[in-house]
Structures are given as C-alpha cells and as structure tokens.
Amino acid sequence: MKYRTTSLQQSAAILADANLDVTFVQLELTDKSNKFKFVLEVNAEKDTLDKWINDYTNERIFVEPKKYDAKLNILRDNLSLYKN
C-alpha cells in the first residue's frame, strides 16, 4: 500500500520503525509550490498503519534515535536534490 504524507518527521519515524516493513518510493509535488509529499510503500494492513499513525500522533511510538536521525537525513537529502 502506498502512503503519502507531507510530514518529514512522520516519514522518518515510519521508515525507522523496526516493526514496519516500509520503503521510500519518491517525492511528489503538491498543488502548493515548493511543498512535497513523501510517498512510502508500506507492507502492512491499513488498520495496522492507521493504529501506528494514531500512536505516533499521541506520542506512544518509540523509534531508535540514531536510526530516526539517519532516515531524517536521507529524506532531507532527497528534498534538497529535488529542489535543485
């Protein structure tokens, strides 16, 4: 299932979570100039992802900080390459 979000931090957290099988697919330009959506391929049921997003929103998710930072930097690099 493809999941799209404009949140850099949420994308990094999903990618860094060891309990989810997720890959970064691409960036998509939104209707607003200079705003992007992160497209992720999530190998999980919609209910599982919805529960994860709810837990993330309510700060009940823990991801390893080093892994989170690494994923955050990769996504930032993709953003800078896309903008240039």
**Residues of the chain with confidence (pLDDT) below 50:** none
Which residue's entry shows tokens 């998710």? Answer: 61
Enumerate the H helices of the chain as residue ranges. Answer: 8-16, 46-57, 65-83
Q: What is the pLDDT of residue 84?
A: 60
Q: Which residues contact 66 (CB under 8 A, 6 or more apart)?
A: none
The pLDDT of residue 2: 94
